[in-house]
A = this chain, B = another copy of it.
Amino acid sequence: MTRMDLVEQIVAAKLERKLTWRQLAEAVGRSEVWTTSALLGQQCMSADEAAAAGNLLGLSQEEVRLLQVPPSKGSLGATPPTDPLIYRFHEIVQVYGTTLKELIHEKMGDGIMSAIDFEMSVDKVPDAKGDRVRVVMNGKFLPYRKW
């Protein structure tokens, strides 16, 4: 059983049992974003977290164990992504990539925003002219080391 097989099975079980990502996140005791990405094969769970998720999803012992192994990350099949929702985020990097670079350097010096010591949230913002999506990214600034 590969990690991708496990992800397919989790997605199928979630659909069959009519579970939401929010319910799974609450059971696991982590945020929605982290829990969803872990169950989609992008993070490594602790034994307890894996057991809680496995319980709701009806996973086997072997599957629960596999959720605790650091996965080979990278969730997209093609670059650039073909799915319109995911492509919009790719487009934001295309259009605003050099802007992000200039502003982070201006505010904080030469370095990067970590994608490892990193958190993200996704929320719905009701709006009379049409609801909006709000994505907040929060990553540690890592200055380039000189030696």
Contact = CB atoms under 8 A, between A and B. Distances in A.
Interface of A: 1-2, 8, 12, 15-16, 20-22, 30-34, 36-37, 40, 42-44, 62, 65-66, 69-70, 72-76, 78-120, 122-125, 127, 129-147
Nearest to A124: B107
Given A69-B15, A124-B141, A135 B133 contact: no
Nearest to A107: B124
Contact of A76 (B81, B93, B112): B93
Given A15-B66, A79-B80, A101-B86, A22 B142 contact: no
Nearest to A77: B72
B130 A140 contact: yes
A92 B115 contact: yes
B122 A133 contact: no
B122 A107 contact: yes
Nearest to A74: B82
Contacts of A97: 75-76, 81, 86, 89
A19 to B, nearest CB: 10
Given A122-B103, A141-B124, A141-B132, A83 B72 contact: yes
A98 B119 CA distance: 16
A65 to B, nearest CB: 7
Nearest to A129: B140
